Structure 1
Amino acid sequence: MSDTEIAIVLGTRPEIIKLAPVIRACESQDVQYTVIHTGQHYSEELDAVFFEQLELPEPDYNLGVGSNSHGVQTAEMLVGIEEILQDEEPETVLVQGDTNSVLAGAIATSKLDMELGHVEAGLRSFDRDMPEEINRVVTDHAADYLFAPTVDSADLIREEGIPEDRIYVTGNTVVDAVEQHREFAQEKSAILDELELVPSEFVLVTAHRAENVDDEDRFEEILDGIARVADRFDVDAVYPIHPRAENRLDEFDISVPDSIRLVEPQDYLDFLNLESNARLILTDSGGVQEEACILGVPCVTMRDNTERPETIDVGANTLAGAETDEIVDSAIEMDGAVCDWTNPFGDGEAGEQIITEVEQSETPKELEMTPQ
């Protein structure tokens, strides 16, 4: 019988970052844990380097699944995760977010005599065309612990009929991660000098979601909008290009406007430093919306919806869609924003609280088996 109490399943850069505080909480509370890395992000720049940079131990397992269709990728993960869980026999399995790694971890755990905890539960875009939305919903309804980042997200899952005793409002571990690494990034990162950037005199861009970059017309509209924003503010738009987006640029033979500077994908500390010093952030990433809000940098989200509505509610973010004119108008609006909003994602203690709840709480399955 293994001594493992908690198994942590992850597979992408955002999961590594957001689960780092949970891993540290396991260590600080002397909880035996194992890390299962699916290898969903197969690029060194987007993946393994984060463990070294965040001073995390290497994963105990790496499935090396890489890229494939959603079904094939998820199936390969499911088989590998199940085999490891059967060997390790943890009491609880933790997953975070909405990726295929999360879905595979949730399904594998739900078939075994183990508890499932979903970190960042209750996020909803209400867009069932997004694979991530399906992953979120299925994982929430399979989970025994739903760690909601905000009261609003907890309310959403209550409305779906999930029992109250499964729901815990903990804040978001992204706050822990940003607070733990922001000063370190400023001290250790030389990315501003390397790219010859002046603080508050550049716009930072991320665009990688399938609905944006896999549609040639939509991708071109977004790039045109970004370029026009850069020209309007007389600054460069710095775009660390995701491999998926780079492949689409080649496939569609899209010419990138001169005012958009394509750079290599950045490691976490360098990217955090870029975020901290940007005049404005244009993104389609959920995690970047959160980080921008926490860092006090105005954000424009180039999507038709968001599962982070709290960032909009506090005035840190706005939805622009993918049309050029809307992106420009939204950027002008947010560039004039007063950046004094209150961070809605908690106090930076989410990781510790999650591990404490898992260690101290009687889970719903245990309660069901307790004689009344």
Structure 2
Amino acid sequence: MKNIMLVFGTRPEAIKMCPLVTELRGRKEARVCVCVTGQHKSMLKQVLDGFSINPDYDLSIMKEKQTLFEITVNILNKIRQVLEKEKPDVVLVHGDTSTAFACALACFYLQIPVGHVEAGLRTYDIYSPYPEEFNRQVIGIIANYHFAPTEKARENLISEGKNPSAIFVTGNTGIDALKTTVRADYSHEFLTWSLGSRLILLTVHRRENLGEPMRQIFRAVKRITDTHPEVKVIYPIHLNPRVREIAGSVLGGEERIRLIEPLDVIDFHNFMARADLILTDSGGIQEEAPSLGKPVLVLRKSTERPEGVDSGALLLVGIEEERIYEAVTRLLDDNVLYDRMRSADNPYGDGEASRRIADILLGKNENK
């Protein structure tokens, strides 16, 4: 029996870790423990409820306007007791969050092996995305297992001197989640509102985009609806008060833009499946949307997911108003470009990543 602990704390992490929890809990050779930090609170609960997962531990670190200092220190202080009690054989963390970084650091201090799910993504600009690029690189130093979603991620790890025998290309667990969440018979009042229009789904929340970059993004979105009467926009707005303040000041009251509360994972995946175009600064959406045949314009200066750009499914458009407006306008007006992006190959996996990771951890698959 192998004792496996999974630790996560944000909504995006949960979406990608819950399929792995389900897979591991179905293996008789594994004893599975789930610890959530509560780095996100209500948004995390939405995902856990959607996958019917009850965590064994909840560190409940969430505080209003919490800083990176507070997140890191509070996780370190609270997770030590859990790790010392459970004595896991391996702890799985995901991606690039402060939860993943702090947990991996705690495991290093206690000499507990770490498995890094979604390993090897890089921009090599330590401040973009911030603090995520730093977090990923540090976790990569600590990790004993590197579960890379793509061959490119594996190459990054090898170029950094990681042991090739500890790197496994598995695909991305976020694609696994889509198999259970997207439904043909799904309906929602806001999708009904958008019928007959070209629907743009917008998500903007990244720390480095707060302030003037976010205002430029929102001004571009407003210009799009002003000049394209066939377009409607739905924006499930992040709970961060600063994001809400900026969004309200630029987009509030617009007839063809709806600022709505955050959606749970089932709702959001089905909104993506019915959108015509997605504008996002999210990481996970860059992987999920190509699986659904949705063109994505990435609202960031750089991306650690270049495979999607190389395949043609993603277009990196930055954070400047004019560039965003021109890119969206071209995609709306150029059917050939739109169809090419919509039909691009998905480089992020086949929905079997959780099974592969479980097999590797339980000694059933030695193939990297």
User: How high is the TM-score relative to the length of structure 1?
Assistant: 0.89
Is the CA contact 2:313–2:345 (under 8 Å) kept in the aligned structure 1? no
The answer to whether structure 1 residue 280 and structure 2 residue 269 are counterparts is no
Matches of 2:199 and 2:325, distance apart in 1: 15
CA distance in 1, matches of 2:331, 2:2: 47
State how 1:42-53 maps to structure 2 within 5 Å. Answer: 42=41, 44=42, 46-53=43-50
Q: Kindly report which structure 2 residues correspond to 1:235-250, keeping only aligned pairs within 5 A, or say none.
A: 235-244=231-240, 246-250=241-245
Of residues 352, 355, 360, the one that matches 2:358 is: 355
1:77, CA displacement in angstroms? Answer: 0.5
Q: 5+ unaligned residues in a row in structure 1: which ranges?
A: 364-372
Residue 16 (structure 2) pairs with residue 18 (structure 1): yes
- Are positions 1:271 and 2:268 aligned together? yes
2:336 is aligned with 1:345? no
After superposition, the C-alpha distances for 1:224-255 in whole angstroms (9 at most, x for unaligned) are 111122334321111111011x4344379823
| Counterpart contact for 1:154–1:169, Cα < 8 Å | yes
Q: Describe the shift of the 1:337–1:36 C-alpha distance in structure 2 as closer, same or farther (beyond 3 A).
A: same
CA contact (8 A) 1:140 1:146 kept: yes
Q: Distance in 2 between matches of 1:322 and 1:231?
A: 19
Q: Which runs of 5+ in 2 are unaligned?
A: none
Matched letter for residue 60 of structure 1: D
Q: Find the residue that maps to 1:16 and give its secondary structure.
A: helix
What does the per-residue CA deviation read over 1:309-337, in whole Å, with 9 as the maximum and x for residues that have no partner? Answer: 11111111111111111111221344432
C-alpha contact 2:181 2:265 (8 A) present in aligned 1:
no
Q: 2:327 aligns with which of 316, 327, 330?
A: 330
- SS of 1:254's equivalent? helix
Q: 3-state SS of the aligned residue for 2:251?
A: coil
> 1:157: which partner in 2?
157
Match of 2:61 in 1: 65
Aligned 1:134-145 pairs, distance under 5 A: 134-145=134-145
Alignment match, 1:202: 199
Q: CA deviation at 1:265?
A: 0.9
- Give the share of equivalent positions with the same residue, in percent: 36
User: Partner of 1:308 in structure 2?
Assistant: 305
* Larger CA deviation: 267-276 vs 247-256: 247-256
Structure-2 change in CA distance of 1:323 and 1:27 (3 Å): same
**Equivalent in the alignment of 2:173:** 173
Q: Counterparts of 1:195 and 1:242 in 2: how far apart (Å)? A: 22
Task: Quote the offset at 1:66 in angstroms.
Answer: 0.8
SS at match of 1:311: helix
Q: Which amino acid aligns with 1:236?
A: K
Q: 2: distance between equivalents of 1:362 and 1:165?
A: 12
CA distance in 2, matches of 1:294, 1:192: 24
Structure 1 residues 324 and 351: alpha-carbon distance in aligned structure 2, compared to 1, 3 A threshold: same
More displaced 10-residue stretch of structure 1: 20-29 or 274-283: 20-29
Q: Which amino acid aligns with 1:39?
A: G
Structure-2 residue corresponding to 1:370? none
